Amino acid sequence: MGRDGVQDRTTAVGSPGYGTAGQPAPPRGPLGRLVAEMCAELRPQLSAVSATRLDYVVRRLAGPLQLAVAGRIKSGKSTVVNALIHRRVAPTDIRECTRLVTRFRYGAVDRVEVVRQDGTRRVLSYDADGLVPVDLGVAVDQIAYVDAFLTSASLESVTVIDTPGLGSTDATSVRRAEAVLGRSGRAGPDGVGLDAGSRTAIAQAEAVLYVLTQAVRADDAEALAVFGGCLSPQAASPVNAVGLLNKADQLDGADPIATARELATAQARLLRHRVRDVLPLAGLVAEATETGHFTEADADVLRQIAGLPPAQRDLLFFSADLFVRPELPIPVSGRARLLARLDLFGVRQAVDLLGADPTLGTGELRRKLAERSGVPAVRDLIEHAFRRRADGIKASVALAALAVVAAQAPAPGDRTRIRDAVEGLLQRPAAHQLRLLEAAALVSSGTVPMPAELAAELAGLVSGETPAERLGASGSPVAVLRELALERASTWRSFATFGSTPAQSRVAHVVHRSYCLLWQQLATGGGAVTDE
């Protein structure tokens, strides 16, 4: 026990993040519920060890989507995390917790829980700046991870996991986390600079946001391979992963964001077997504008700068040093704060915006800056790629976890029962989407090569939210959609039968059935596929 607001308590020892005791809530989506129901039927037939593991899978299925933010050290992961959760809580300086895995989770009360290796927790408050505190009150080598609870609506459906990342290896942290890794039953590839704590966090993730920067362009593919190797194959596939080209503001040229956009497109092509897309982001500006870190006082300093004579103003932007040189009438502290919050690029953007419209209010200025940072597109991608697809993603990862439970079952009977139950589930029309997701993961990761146009069609079939989107024919009347579904079904059927490898043929059969089910669904008024 220590200062006020600090207490120790013991909770059930569980795997990181899933230590909540009691009955799990039912999963939120239809696919998750199907898997949970199957598990409930299966449970009484299993040995005690497998039943306990099954409980873990079911508990996890009911929770928010686990999204890991991965990347090299100093790539801006914590900065991106803050922007995404609308709160500046993850420290971006050199403090102890930047070397730890921190899970930002929804909670009724804002608090930080330091989870020790033995599963006990120490509860702390955020510091005066609202950040996870420097002093966690527990020796670092005893910490398994940090749970940061926030009453933030955006965390209700997604838990964001900040990781120390590549390049942060230190021997003790690796050794200390090996125990946790051992329990999670999944080790990553040897060495290659990813610390064990991050490896564990990533292994438990259901989706990943890779933060890339131009500086590591040459070995991005290798860096992603390291992360990919730690994930379950489902979570590692492009179906569940997106990339950000962060620090877009630091690229050379008159319009760094445009350069970043081009570079991101090239990276997306290069990394297509790893990520669904790569988007450019000026993370620092995004953090400042999304978290309220950019204030009215900052806007006032910007207005003063915008009002300077052009010659004097332009001189400011030559370098960070010149920007804070003392001889100007505008307070140095205000300029230094701007520099820390927006960097030179962001300040320049803001001054340009104010130059074009001196009447711009602070709220509007913030919104326009956020737009230029690239964060709205990133949010949109996360919404579509992850949040709206959370049910399918979680259910797929649960099936992958069940395969591991089956493979590691102490009783041979468990193995057969689990596999039969999963197979039975996948036969049902209502669960076919899970089979399709698996097929899409095989194709998009390059495991099963496919002609480019078929691969693209499959990606659309998986990512579309409505039947029309899935058929790539938004706005078409139902009759046209039905026709299209039949046509596609027949194309994939012939592909499955003629000229494909056995692996391609298996994928094609799954896709064929998806189109048939889609056709049925369109015939019955566009409702969800059921087993009836």
Rounded (5°) CA angle 360-364-367 = 140
32: partner contacted, choices Mg ion, ligand GDP, none (Cβ within 5-8 A by kind):
none
70 vs 496, beta carbon nearer Mg ion: 70
Q: Are the C-beta atoms of residues 160 and 95 closer than 8 Å to each other?
A: no
435: partner contacted, choices Mg ion, ligand GDP, none (Cβ within 5-8 A by kind):
none
Please pick, from the candidates 77, 335, 348, 482, the single residue that binds ligand GDP as defined by CB under 6 A. Answer: 77
49 vs 216, beta carbon nearer ligand GDP: 216
| Residue 76 interacts with ligand GDP (CB under 6 A): yes or no | yes
Closest by Cα among 21, 3, 196, 5 to 119: 21
Using CB under 6 A, which residues numbered 272 to 291 contact ligand GDP?
282-284
66: partner contacted, choices Mg ion, ligand GDP, none (Cβ within 5-8 A by kind):
none
Please report how close the Cβ of residue 98 comes to Mg ion at its closest, in angstroms. Answer: 4
| Residue 15 interacts with ligand GDP (CB under 6 A): yes or no | no
* DSSP 8-class letter at 124: E
Please report how close the Cβ of residue 297 comes to ligand GDP at its closest, in angstroms. Answer: 19
4 vs 93, beta carbon nearer Mg ion: 93
Please pick, from the candidates 152, 154, 250, 463, the single residue that binds ligand GDP as defined by CB under 6 A. Answer: 250
If one counts every other C-beta atom within 10 angstroms of the C-beta of residue 240, the result is 28
Closest by Cα among 249, 202, 270 to 344: 249
What residues contact 175, with CB distance under 8 A and at least 6 apart? Answer: 196
| Residue 265 interacts with ligand GDP (CB under 6 A): yes or no | no
Helix (H, G, I), strand (E, B) or coil at 207: strand
| Residue 163 interacts with Mg ion (CB under 5 A): yes or no | no
Please pick, from the candidates 6, 49, 51, 73, the single residue that binds ligand GDP as defined by CB under 6 A. Answer: 73
| Residue 213 interacts with Mg ion (CB under 5 A): yes or no | no
* DSSP 8-class letter at 283: H
Please pick, from the candidates 15, 50, 66, 79, the single residue that binds ligand GDP as defined by CB under 6 A. Answer: 79
Please report how close the Cβ of residue 195 comes to Mg ion at its closest, in angstroms. Answer: 12
78 vs 445, beta carbon nearer ligand GDP: 78
Please report how close the Cβ of residue 208 comes to ligand GDP at its closest, in angstroms. Answer: 14
| Residue 220 interacts with ligand GDP (CB under 6 A): yes or no | no
| Residue 195 interacts with ligand GDP (CB under 6 A): yes or no | no
Identify the burial level of 12 via C-beta atoms within 10 angstroms of its C-beta, where 0-12 means exposed, 13-18 middle and 19 or more buried.
exposed
What residues contact 85, with CB distance under 8 A and at least 6 apart? Answer: 104, 150, 152, 154, 155, 160
Using CB under 6 A, which residues numbered 52 to 71 contact ligand GDP?
71
Alpha-helix residue ranges (DSSP H) falling in 292-411: 296-306, 310-316, 320-323, 332-356, 362-373, 375-382, 390-407
319 vs 447, beta carbon nearer ligand GDP: 319
Using CB under 6 A, which residues numbered 96 to 115 contact ligand GDP?
98
Please report how close the Cβ of residue 253 comes to Mg ion at its closest, in angstroms. Answer: 28
| Residue 75 interacts with ligand GDP (CB under 6 A): yes or no | yes
Angle between helices 332-356 and 296-306 (to 10 degrees): 70
List 106's β-bridge partners, or say none: 150
| Residue 197 interacts with ligand GDP (CB under 6 A): yes or no | no
Identify the burial level of 117 via C-beta atoms within 10 angstroms of its C-beta, where 0-12 means exposed, 13-18 middle and 19 or more buried.
middle
34 vs 209, beta carbon nearer Mg ion: 209
* DSSP 8-class letter at 180: H
Using CB under 5 A, which residues numbered 70 to 129 contact Mg ion?
77-78, 98
74 vs 488, beta carbon nearer ligand GDP: 74
Strands 102-106 and 143-150: parallel
| Residue 343 interacts with ligand GDP (CB under 6 A): yes or no | yes
Total residues found in the chain within this entry: 532
Using CB under 5 A, which residues numbered 482 to 521 contact Mg ion?
none
d(CA 416, CA 84): 43
Q: Are the C-beta atoms of residues 36 and 26 closer than 8 Å to each other?
A: yes
Note the residues at the interface with ligand GDP (CB under 6 A): 71, 73-79, 92, 98, 165, 246-247, 249-250, 282-284, 343
Note the residues at the interface with Mg ion (CB under 5 A): 77-78, 98
